[in-house]
Amino acid sequence: MSSRLTFVKFLYEARGLYDLYKCTCGSLKTVRRDKANHEYTKSCGCLSSELKSKRFTKHGEAGRTTEYRSWGAMKQRCYNRWHKAYKNYGGRGIKICKRWLNSYKNFLKDMGRKPNRNYTLDRINNNGNYRPSNCRWATWKQQQNNKRPKGSGYLNG
């Protein structure tokens, strides 16, 4: 892999010999001369970030979109026993359909983007599972009108 760094000038510092480089992203990077000469340093750090992002995301949205955060929160509520809302979701037997459980891409394809940031993921039937036919993007007011009665029981199958 080629370097993204272009030499700018030599630097002589008390701690050793360094060179100043400009990265293709526009940042300046000071590199110890012995590391630069052996192509140990390939960028200002931006290359590492890009490679990590590609390695850990298939869709490029991990944590960046409100829809992705809704999908992740849904999974936490249903499967993380330590989540504060688990008792009202996973603890009641609420599950996520197989199509969505491990595929944000499928979730997004079925749900689409939120109309705007004021919408949240809502189950139409509060005793039903998370699946395309039982979910919608709803406003806070719609969510409040769709609450289950206090003290209502567990999922009936």
- Position 54 confidence tier, pLDDT thresholds 50, 70, 90: low
Question: Any idea which residue has 């998370």 for tokens?
Answer: 130
| 62-86 pLDDT per residue, tens | 657 899 999 999 999 999 999 999 9
Q: What is the rounded CA–CA span in Å between residue 157 and residue 150?
A: 20
Token code pair at residue 97:
């359909």
Average pLDDT over residues 18-34: 84
Q: In what order do the strands lie in the sheet with 16-23?
A: 5-13, 16-23, 28-32
Residues linked to residue 42 through DSSP beta bridges, in sequence order = none
Cβ distance 143 to 124 under 8 Å? no
In the chain, what are the domain boundaries?
5-56, 66-145
Q: Stretch 49-57: mean pLDDT, rounded?
A: 63
* Dihedral sign from CA coordinates of 141, 76, 49, 29: positive
